[in-house]
Amino acid sequence: MQGSYDGAAFDEGGAMPEVMRRPRFPTTAGHEESRTLGATSPERLAHRLGWFSISLGLAEVLAPRLLSRLLVGSDRYANLIRLYGARELASALMIFAQGARPTAAMWSRVAGDAVDIATLVAAGASPRTNRGGVAIAAASVLGVTALDVYCARQLSREPRAEPGIRMTRSVVVNRPPHDLYAFWREFENFPRFMFHVQSVRRTGPGITHWVVNGPAGATVEWDARITSDIPNEVIAWQSLDGSQVDNRGVVRFEPRPGGRGTIVRVDLLYQPPAGRAGKLVAMLFNESPEQQIYDDLHRFKQVVETGEVMRSDGSPDGMGDVLQQPAQPLPRRRTIASDTPKSSHEESSGGTR
């Protein structure tokens, strides 16, 4: 039954690693549920065009007379070509200086392409130019212009990422993907392994209301909607506009080869209340989301494998509001010596003591 577990674990076939941690990296782009958080293709294209600008700019600056003779049949455009080469180098510097989303730099390249096209049209109209060379140059510039326009429009269309914290955590659980998906999909189960979550309740189709413990005893609430739901594979969510904590993320259930459990991978992007200052305050109270999600995955693994959250006797009060059971010693195994019958001498000596 969905969301129901009897606490039985898989057969003892080998130890599974507890939690595999991935380093947190700074945010550069908005989250997309269909792929891992990271750079998008327009961003990669922009940087490749930046390297193209460096190559072209160096050629125009270092050999302007040669290029002028090849294109128009004379060197009277050499100084203009050298000037355009300096512009190409400046465009490349702008692309790399603006980082992951060089939108303004790409539109400056489009403006430069328009100037190049106008120059080639004027050169082609002159009877003293090599029109074949001008035609080849114009075709090349038009091709590069198409790439520049495409890249600039894609970068402008995609929303800019808000400042935030991004992280990825994963855990290997000895359960098949469909069991883990079913448990996670029942959002009311979250307080069982997320000690900072007071409650999660459904308020509409694909909409949930969260009540979470914040730093210093404060309470934070927000509404979230499901943005992607692929049974037994992916669940993605995003907080609604106006939420106290802006967050979005995705959890993936990736089966391991040979039926050896499932990798549960969580990608999360969130904006701490009060920005970076709020994040520092949360860390002082040991309640930063980076720490919480790491501990939550530990407890998730324990709940779905054993039916309860275990703790060490060294921390008798447990953590947060989760009811935790004391650790129990493993059953003592019978040794070979205990299975060996005692000799008559041992029995007799034992009886005289």
Instruction: Give the span between the Cα atoms of 279 and 71, in whole angstroms.
Output: 58
Is-contact 209 200, C-beta < 8 A?
Answer: yes
Q: Are residues 245 and 180 in the same domain?
A: yes
User: What is the dihedral sign for C-alpha 118, 121, 125, 129?
Assistant: positive
Q: Does some domain include residue 3? A: no
Give the domain extent around 298.
161-306
Q: Are residues 165 and 197 in the same domain?
A: yes
Region of 180 please: left (phi>0), alpha (psi -120 to 50) or beta.
alpha
Instruction: Judge whether residue 287 has pLDDT over 60.
Output: no
Instruction: Judge whether residue 183 has pLDDT over 90.
Output: yes
* Domain tally, the chain: 2
DSSP single-letter state for residue 263: E
Q: Are residues 204 and 234 in the same domain?
A: yes
In the structure, what pLDDT confidence band is assigned to residue 228 with cuts at 50, 70 and 90?
very high
* pLDDT tens per residue, range 45-98: 998 999 999 999 999 999 989 888 887 777 888 898 899 999 999 999 999 888
Q: Are residues 284 and 181 in the same domain?
A: yes
Average pLDDT, the chain: 74
Q: Does some domain include residue 317? A: no
Residue 176's pLDDT is 94
Residue 127's pLDDT is 77
Question: In what helix (H) or strand (E) does residue 113 lie, and over which residues does it extend?
Answer: helix 103-125
Is-contact 123 77, C-beta < 8 A?
Answer: yes
Last residue of a domain, one of 103, 137, 157: 157
- List of residues 6+ apart from 286 with CB closer than 8 A: none
Backbone angles phi, psi at 334, to 5 degrees: -75, 135
Q: Are residues 172 and 301 in the same domain?
A: yes
Number of H helices, E strands in the chain: 11, 10
Q: Are residues 148 and 214 in the same domain?
A: no
User: Closest Cα to residue 164, out of 237, 246, 43?
Assistant: 246
Instruction: Judge whether residue 12 has pLDDT over 60.
Output: no
Q: Are residues 277 and 200 in the same domain?
A: yes
Q: Are residues 102 and 236 in the same domain?
A: no
Residue 213 corresponds to which tokens in the numbers above?
């413990």
State how beta strands 310-311 and 197-204 pair.
unpaired
Last residue of a domain, one of 104, 133, 157: 157
- Count of C-beta atoms within a 10 Å radius of residue 190: 20
The model's pTM: 0.45
Residue 67 corresponds to which tokens in the numbers above?
């290029």
Q: Are residues 302 and 172 in the same domain?
A: yes
User: What is the dihedral sign for C-alpha 336, 342, 346, 347?
Assistant: positive
Q: Are residues 54 and 140 in the same domain?
A: yes
Instruction: Judge whether residue 11 has pLDDT over 50.
Output: no
Last residue of a domain, one of 137, 157, 177: 157
Q: Are residues 246 and 293 in the same domain?
A: yes
Instruction: Give the span between the Cα atoms of 279 and 257, in whole angstroms.
Output: 38
